[in-house]
Amino acid sequence: MTRKLFFVVFGLSTLINCGPQYDPENGAPESTQDPLQIDQQTGVPYANTYQYPIQGFNASDFGFGFGSMNDLICMSRDKDGQCLAFGYHLAHDSLVGRTPYGKEVLAPADGIVRVTTDLTFRGYGSTSSGNSNYYGCVLVLEHEFPDGSPFTTLLGHVQCESTTNYDPAARIGNPARGTIVRRGQYVGHVGHYWYGAGKTTDWHHVHWGNRKGAFTATSYTRSGVGVWVRGYAARSEFSKDPQTGKLVHPEWFDPIDTVKKYGDPALTPDVGVRHHPPGSMLEDQQGTFWLVTNEAEIAKLPTAVIASDHYDTSLAARASQDELDCYAHAADIKSFGSVTLYQRPGTHTVVMAYDDKKERYDVIRQEALYSWGYNFQGLTTDASKIQKCENAYAARGFRQLRPGSLIKADEESEVSIVTPWQTRRPIGTGEIYEKLGYSWDRIMSVPYDVIDAVAGVRESNIVDYDSIFACALPAPCPSDGMCGGGDDPEDYVDDVGDVSEQDAGASTEGGTEQLDSGAPAEASATTESCNGLDDDGNGQIDEIFMCRLGAVGGGCVTSCGSAGYLVCTAPACSWGECHSYPEDCSNTIDDDCNGLVDCADPACAKDANCQTEADAGMLAGQIRFIYDGPASPGSIKLMAWWQPPETEPRIWDEVTDCLDAVPDDGRFDCTFLVPSGTGPLEFQVNLPDGSYWGDESCDQMGGCGSTIGTTKVYGSAGELEIKMVPNNDQGQPYYNGHIDSVP
């Protein structure tokens, strides 16, 4: 196979080492620095290229990322002090333990200084207001992208050096407001960041964020600088990108994505691959083979198992010790045991029968058979053996491609790797493919209309530079908690926005005062899977396991596919034997192995978690909104306005703290708060295809006499009556939903 394949690219620049080499002592090579270009109307420099803010640092040197949840940060609490919404990070933090105090901080792009270190900000110096170093400094730079759109860069946890004359050549001091800085120019040093019970542990790092829009603050107030100096937001402010599955925010975006799009390849340090996608086979320097079993683990592949289970070691990629050290080591891979291959009598179907487990799989296509190391020469003709397998072995469906297989559709150029959980993960570019060490002549090709059946459904999680350079087991935090800088969780809500007494401004890494709304935390839109990650954003890793429904003898398997029920604490997963437990009615697990989960199980009929919406009851002013309708790709949006009892009406807009949890399932179920006594409340559901729920017209996209789907609304008094009122713009038969009063 020739190397004329092109890979899916979602706005990613190719980051390879070419051109002038990066000099860690002197910053950017002179030949890579473009002439300064300034927008003559705004006076803001254009950011034609964008780099990492610390010399020699790469994406793998930034650990706590954009959209990461920090359970030390509470955005709002109820009257009893319980946290209603944890904080989700609006930036990337350089790795704790790899960012020494005093490390030089650089301007990532040409820009103008808008906030400098004559102000100190709450939470940017330590984690406790009782510590003298609690207040720290930040820098805010404003830039414009080449298309003229403005944005800012926030550099937090830098030393406060405004009293020292700024000298970029001598690398001392900090630039004053209005200073034009060049990409790669020194602007400051990494400051102290204190953490721990005694508030004496060095937890130094740089908080690096990007915000959309021009800097417009005229004074340092909550409505001024505060929105440009912000570190966390509630989950309800985010949505989920349907292509990548990553959290996105309407104002803040991931600066590493900016580097991917506008980075200069000469400034990207050449680090080795530190992470292969699950399913990959690796070979170390001693000739030992390993399988990547999930995002955070590898398992040794013994020589005897390689021979007995027909592994093709020519598929293995060479891995350095640094890469192997980025994984936890699971138990050695075990053999599947004896396999009987036969052709089902009277058909063309080839069957793989596992004699030890007494299970059989129909091979879905010949490519699948080849991927498991077999061919049509090994078929048995023993009629009695075939009959025994057909009668006594449990049918387990189709045998798909072996994990680690590289696959593409005949009609497309995108190449994917098959994961251990039988999905296919796209590989972003040809350069990434080569860096991973995969062989070009190992790619299988099948017709487009069968690729899902053969290789599993396509994941939105794409193998990109960010993923292959990121260590699955980053350097541990020097103390308990997540390695993300933030504020004291004990006094967050009370003094959010505080700055030091000598400063006129108010802002915080934690967020701004408007977030203390009492709104409940938004439910995660991602289901937890056993991959060493916190997929559902609840602060726990790989905690959800389910019984395999219909398994012979009620046997349970984990979502890892391993026998047993023991909870997995990543990165080390080990499983005990399956047991039947009393049904827990709120954990999404079939605990008693009867094929029914939670409220669908009769054992939960009287459980409080399984009351109907009308019976459950809610707090005064709390609204639960449920829409069920035709599913189509995209996100459902709830639009509304309402009249509070004593204030101005809320303008017609999207209810931003109600997110469509599963974009394609046609269901929208969310809870939000309005003032008790509000009336009226009017709403509309905008659907992904451009139609909307209240359209009863017989136009092409209308419901022709009925709404498109159904809605129900519940308050503290139970189900609320929905009246249909004509849409102001179009009138009948185009309606909005109308509720007279909210209890």
In the prediction, which pLDDT does 663 show?
66
pLDDT in tens, 558-603: 443 333 343 333 333 344 444 556 676 765 555 666 656 667 677 7
pLDDT bracket for residue 668 (50, 70, 90): confident
| 289 occurs within a structural domain | yes
Examine the fold and report which residue of 243, 267, 291 is the final residue of a domain before the chain moves on.
267
- pLDDT above 90 coverage of the chain, percent: 30
In the prediction, which pLDDT does 220 show?
59
Positive or negative, the CA dihedral 609, 613, 619, 623 is positive
Q: Which domain holds residue 359?
A: 339-399
Whether residue 495 is predicted with pLDDT greater than 60 in this model: the reply is no
Assigned token pair, 362: 């129909």
Whether residue 471 is predicted with pLDDT greater than 70 in this model: the reply is yes
Of the candidates 210, 213, 257, the residue with the CA atom closest to the CA atom of residue 229: 210
| 495 occurs within a structural domain | no
Q: What is the enclosing helix (H) or strand (E) of 208? A: strand 207-212
Q: What is the chain's mean pLDDT, rounded?
A: 76
What's the number of CA atoms in the CB half-sphere (13 Å) around residue 413? 12
In the prediction, which pLDDT does 546 show?
39
Query: What's the CATH number where 362 sits?
Result: 3.30.2390
60/468 Cα distance (integer angstroms): 9
- Shared domain for 371 and 387, answered yes or no, is yes
pLDDT bracket for residue 249 (50, 70, 90): very high
Within 31-80, strands assigned E span 69-77
Whether residue 637 is predicted with pLDDT greater than 70 in this model: the reply is yes
Top-ranked range on mean pLDDT: pick from 325-329, 515-519, 545-549, 728-732:
325-329
Contact 95, 58 (CB under 8 A): no
| 98 occurs within a structural domain | yes
346-350, 372-376, 490-494: lowest mean pLDDT where?
490-494
In the prediction, which pLDDT does 581 show?
62
Of the candidates 704, 689, 690, the residue with the CA atom closest to the CA atom of residue 734: 704
405/400 Cα distance (integer angstroms): 10
Assigned token pair, 267: 């400034």
| 245 occurs within a structural domain | yes
Examine the fold and report which residue of 589, 610, 631 is the final residue of a domain before the chain moves on.
610
pLDDT in tens, 276-335: 999 999 998 889 999 998 888 899 999 999 999 999 998 899 888 888 888 888 889 999
- Shared domain for 79 and 173, answered yes or no, is yes
**Between 422 and 673, whose confidence is greater?**
422
| 456 occurs within a structural domain | no
Can you give the C-alpha Rg of the chain in angstroms? 29
714/624 Cα distance (integer angstroms): 5
pLDDT bracket for residue 83 (50, 70, 90): confident
Residue 668 sits at φ, ψ, to 5 deg, of -130, 110
| 709 occurs within a structural domain | yes
- Shared domain for 233 and 98, answered yes or no, is yes
SS3 assignment, position 257: helix
pLDDT bracket for residue 201 (50, 70, 90): confident
pLDDT in tens, 108-159: 999 999 999 988 888 888 877 667 778 889 999 999 999 999 999 999 999 9
Assigned token pair, 23: 């000099």
Q: DSSP secondary structure string, 598-629?
A: GGGSGGGTT-GGG--HHHH---TTEEEEEEE-
| 598 occurs within a structural domain | yes
- Shared domain for 114 and 173, answered yes or no, is yes
- Shared domain for 145 and 103, answered yes or no, is yes
Examine the fold and report which residue of 352, 383, 399 is the final residue of a domain before the chain moves on.
399
In the prediction, which pLDDT does 544 show?
45
Query: What's the CATH number where 98 sits?
Result: 2.70.70.10
- Shared domain for 47 and 147, answered yes or no, is yes
- Shared domain for 105 and 242, answered yes or no, is yes
Span 6-14, mean pLDDT? 32
Task: Name the residue type at position 25.
Answer: E
- Shared domain for 307 and 394, answered yes or no, is no
pLDDT in tens, 603-635: 776 665 565 544 444 567 778 888 888 767 777
SS3 assignment, position 266: helix
- Shared domain for 634 and 699, answered yes or no, is yes
Span 633-645, mean pLDDT? 84
Tell me the pTM: 0.52
| 715 occurs within a structural domain | yes
In the prediction, which pLDDT does 252 show?
95
Span 382-402, mean pLDDT? 90
pLDDT bracket for residue 515 (50, 70, 90): very low
- Shared domain for 169 and 204, answered yes or no, is yes
Which residues does 600 contact at the CB level (< 8 Å), separation at least 6?
Answer: none
- Shared domain for 212 and 250, answered yes or no, is yes
Task: Provide the number of structural domains found in the chain.
Answer: 5
Q: Look at phi and psi of residue 116 and say left if phi exceeds 0, alpha if psi is from -120 to 50, else beta.
A: beta
- Shared domain for 551 and 688, answered yes or no, is no
